[in-house]
Structure 1
Amino acid sequence: MGRALALLVIASLASGCATLGYYAQAINGHLEVRALSRPIDDWLADPDTTPELREKLIYARAARAFALDELALPDRGSFDRYADLGRRYVLWNVFATPELSLEAKRWCFPVAGCVNYRGYFAEDDAQAFAQSLADQRLDVYVGGVAAYSTLGWFSDPLLNTVLRRSPPEVAGLIFHELAHERVYAKGDSEFNESFATVVELEGVRRWLSARGDAESFAGYRARLSQREAFTKLVLATRSRLVTLYESSMSDAQKRVSKRAAFEELKSAYADLRNQGTFDERYDAWFAQPLNNAHLVAVGTYHSLVPILEVMLARQNGDLRAFYGEAERLAALPKVDRAKQLAALKAAR
């Protein structure tokens, strides 16, 4: 998926050669990104900065200011610098699941806790790690990442990988990443990503409304409608497969039904594409061989969004009150947080 988050845990190291090697690439990758970055004001003052880049940087700087002033997001120096990495993605995330389960493989780190993916600054490294997991008969997926967060431990620069997007999507990604610096539940990827997605969606709505940009808002709503339709389609297949994998069918029967489920997912997408529900933006995703790990990647970012949107509505749209409630939930043990979210879902 294009918009994603990779949590780099570069504040402390653990023992073990393999672990140290992973941390080394994370540290070196982040330092390289920092070394390539310059303050946005310097880019704007540079006569060699192209008019197109200048316009995008001015827009991003204004969106960042809006995030701090109007969305009550923290100012820890993130996105006040810019770097052109000369590549499409800054990171590649690796997701993995067992062949007949949607229980994501998790990796645990000293600062971020346990997460459902593992990020690499070099695509070759990500693919090599994914292959090592595939050799263990796991389902794997490698997805490019446009931005990452160090959770406020370091100031994260704005990247060319972000500015490739439409202006509202650039603003949304800035809001999403800064939301991670406001609320973070250690070891709960789905809560963290869903919370940040809610802040992103509400933030973009307010941002475009404040600018009176009706045309951009209409375009953003159209893209959002596609995103919601995509998520609904994928999560329906995920739910179907959860039921399948928990059934008493033999493994052989489950494999046959699994293949059928993914074939039907692709067929359903093709039908909706022909009906005009989607444009070409999801064609590449559906063109690849799909497996459980692809579904986990989508679920990580969206599964709790509807519940958290209810929570925001119950706070009458007051973001500070919403953050306070999210912080309260984030402080709970994961099992207790899940129970409270389930109760909120049942009551909506």
Structure 2
Amino acid sequence: MKTTPRTAPRTPDAVDTDALIEDLRTLVEVESPSRDLDALTASAKAVAGVIESRLGGQAVLVESPSGPHVRWSGGGTPRVLLLGHHDTVFPLGTLARRPFRVEDGRATGPGVFDMLGGIVQAVHGVALLDDPSGVEILVTCDEEVGSPSSRALIEERALACGAVLVLEGAAEDGALKTGRKGCGTFEVTVKGVASHAGLEPEEGVNALVEAAYQVLDIVALGRPEAGTSVTPTVSWAGTVENVVPAGASVVVDVRVVTAAEKDRVEAAFAALRPHLDGAELSVRGGIGRPPMPESASADLFALARTLLPGLEGKAVGGGSDGNFTAALGVPTLDGLGAVGGGAHADHEYLIVGAMAERAHLVAGLIDAVRAS
């Protein structure tokens, strides 16, 4: 892939910021928590409406067990996939408590940064193009829950297009995301034997004690020097205070930089064994999102820097659907969405003044990829 765009970047004045905010409001005010099929259907229709009103053509709703994904094509031979998601982590009712607002140069409301702002910016970026041929937009409904129903479609369209621009929010200070850790969740469940904690504790097999041993074994799997974190995050055990607990579980978040570490950690979880006689273990889960190496984004990031000199890139710990496309060997650049912060938090925000520039960056990258 060449790293010199053949078209000069357009000026930010060509994008109507009021229109950007109008479309962002439209999407934010249709709440879209993952797994809520009715809400996601309404959200998908809103996304399709924004795309069609700005770009024309037809935005198709692709039904799935997780809800509707939204797909739009500018026609011609596929060259660039713009990849986003319209589901959010916020439950219904969040909007009433934290409505969409624009104040002091910031837009706030559930999902503005992760990642409804990125969808809007990308649509307006495509609208800048003289010819949208070769451009595809795919906005999925299940990214926040691991992309169970969209992964195959994402991989299919990434391979067909040959380059992927991911519309997740930017990293700190507006940096693009040039690498991501692989990530996944494991759950270790312990089966013990209940008994009276006062009369005959020795007759039981204490699942809580076994879980404590397992937590120590699990934490020891981390390798900070290799970028591998293994972090127990949620646990439960027992029923009432005078019964030796017969059951316990530990949920573990895992992040890895390399495929070799993914394999090592998955094998280590499979090899966990109980410490107490009579205890039984079961392990489920895995590292569902493979690592996104920085090599996957190198060419696209070089193109981005010709359009915005001084633009920074950063490898981050969180995962996205770009992990899937990068693992296929498809050039993938992430963090092209909103500039802001507070993803998944009540203080989530988007910097309005950066929206037009990022829309132009998307347009320039599309032109550059198609010219290469």
TM-score by length of 1: 0.28
Task: Indicate the structure with greater strand content.
Answer: 2
* Structure showing greater Rg: 2
Higher relative contact order (CA 8 A, sep 6+): 2
Task: Indicate the structure with greater helix content.
Answer: 1
